A and B are shown apart, each in its own frame.
Chain A
Amino acid sequence: MRAQSPLRLTMPIRAWMQRFALLLLILASFALIVLGKADTVVVERLRVQLADALAPFFDLVSRPASGFGRVSEEVREISALRADNERLREANTRLLRWQEVARRLEAENQQLRGLMNVTPEPTVSYVSARIIADSGGAFVRSVLVNAGARSGAARGQAAVMDHGLVGRVVEVGERAARVLLLTDLNSRVPVMLENSRERAVLAGDNGPQPRLLYLPSRREAPAAGERVVTSGHGGVFPPGIPVGSTAVAEDGSTRVALYADFDRLEFLRLVDTGLGHTLTEPIPGPQRARQRERS
């Protein structure tokens, strides 16, 4: 009987310790939330390092997954082959006509620029990257791509798919970079309506169609279907990247139906305008601090 007494004593202590540990961990979670709000630099560095360390692994694992995706895509495509063919032939004739128009306009444009002595737009180059991980989280719309600083990715670059703008590079590691998608809560992109040249800000709210904010107030809601392109204001994105077309939501707000198909993202092109180094201004505090730190 005596031999059991220390055990009987330690049991409640251990239970109490465990409960105490749990309480401590919960407090630590709260502390993390506060820390994450206050000091985004440390958190961001951690995030980049983790993404960098896991990039080769994600790269490897996402290959069979993307192969699987491709197979399912192919099955779907084969079943739609005939209709697609028909559609494409029609589109081809239409596009050939457009090509002719574009060539003529380009020539004319060049001539006029020459006459007016316009400053040439900076040349744009691309970095292509494959998406290796998806945030999958409930509230963040971001993806990791397998191109980092080594391949020429830089913070602030626009990420585009063949059809239109997808998002913006927000974090860059050596081997991986994080792209914040247009649909994310924190995404704000200066855009304009292509026809009226009116500026607005495209703001994500985690829904599939981001909102248009700060449209000129004298104007009624723009008609549905008007093209929206990047305005290039703020110097982050090159102007004229197609984004989507306006749509009116049920609640009356003006939204943008994006051209990029967010369900089929696989490869992204990061647009390098060569403006990357003048980028400090439009980006808020923490990033600037980080850049100071680097230099």
Chain B
Amino acid sequence: MTSGLLNRLDGWARDLLPTLTTVLLLVLSTVRVPVAGLRSVAPAMVLIAVYHWTVHRPLLLPPSVIFLVGFVQDLLTASPVGTGSLTLLAVYLGVLSQRRFLAGKPFAMVWLGFALVAAATFLAVWAGISALSGILVDPWEMAFRYAVTVACYPLFAAFLLVIQRAFMAQGA
């Protein structure tokens, strides 16, 4: 009886891991690290988390959670509300439709997929904000941030994979 309940709680906790790690990365990306030059080049960690979980465990990071994460991200970063949710949902939708090319494939393939998805995302965000603000925003900083995000992907993906393998070995 109790072991059944514990089992179920255990299962729930495991199922919550994608959400928790995504929120953790969201917080990490907002915390201030005053190391010279790090400010403008912080990788887009939430994007990495959403991509990773959509590829590996799409059912455990539902769109509603992605929507909320995007919303909170917008509030925390003082970005125009809704843009974060929209971007992340678009990433989710895009990755989901191409998932058969990514799931269970070698890491390099998944990484390449991320590079493409991130390129589309950064480009769309850049165009969107330029349109919203009416100024052509400096694209170079954006390009740099994109490069850093793609370069950092293996690091964060490794962290997420370790968690995934340790706690969520069974199930798809």
Q: Give me the interface of A with B, judged by CB distance under 8 Å.
A: 18, 21-22, 25-26, 28-37, 43, 46-47, 50-51, 54, 58, 61-62, 65-66, 68-70, 72-73, 76, 131-140, 142-143, 171, 178, 185-186, 205-207, 262-266
The smallest C-beta distance from B20 to any residue of chain A, in angstroms, reads 15
Contact of B137 among A58, A131, A185 (CB under 8 A): A185
B103-141 vs A: 1/0 string, CB under 8 Å? Answer: 000000000000000000010011001000101011001
Q: Give me the interface of B with A, judged by CB distance under 8 Å.
A: 27, 29-40, 42, 44, 63-64, 66-67, 70-73, 75-83, 85-86, 89-90, 92-93, 122, 125-126, 129, 133, 135, 137-138, 141-142, 145
A133-B32, A138-B142, A139-B137 in contact; A26/B86 too (CB < 8 A)? yes
Cross-chain contact A142 with B78 (CB below 8 angstroms) = yes
With a CB–CB cut-off of 8 A, which chain A residues contact B37? Answer: 263
A35-B82, A264-B34 in contact; A205/B122 too (CB < 8 A)? no
Cross-chain contact A46 with B75 (CB below 8 angstroms) = yes
The listed residue with most A CB atoms (<10 A of its CB), out of B31, B83, B125, is B31
Q: What are 24 inter-chain pairs, A to B, with CB distance below 8 A?
A: A18-B63, A22-B63, A22-B89, A22-B93, A25-B67, A33-B80, A33-B81, A35-B81, A47-B75, A47-B78, A51-B76, A58-B30, A73-B35, A134-B30, A134-B31, A134-B33, A138-B145, A139-B129, A139-B133, A139-B137, A185-B133, A186-B133, A265-B39, A266-B34
Cross-chain contact A185 with B135 (CB below 8 angstroms) = yes
The smallest C-beta distance from A169 to any residue of chain B, in angstroms, reads 13
With a CB–CB cut-off of 8 A, which chain B residues contact A37? Answer: 80
Task: State in angstroms the CA–CA spacing of A50 and B78 once bound together.
Answer: 11
The smallest C-beta distance from A31 to any residue of chain B, in angstroms, reads 7
Task: State in angstroms the CA–CA spacing of A51 and B89 once bound together.
Answer: 24
Task: State in angstroms the CA–CA spacing of A92 and B81 once bound together.
Answer: 49
Task: State in angstroms the CA–CA spacing of A21 and B65 once bound together.
Answer: 12
Given known contacts A51-B76, A136-B42, what 18 new A-B pairs fall within 8 Å (CB)? A28-B67, A32-B85, A33-B81, A33-B86, A62-B31, A66-B33, A68-B35, A137-B77, A137-B78, A139-B79, A139-B125, A171-B78, A185-B133, A205-B135, A206-B141, A207-B138, A262-B39, A263-B36
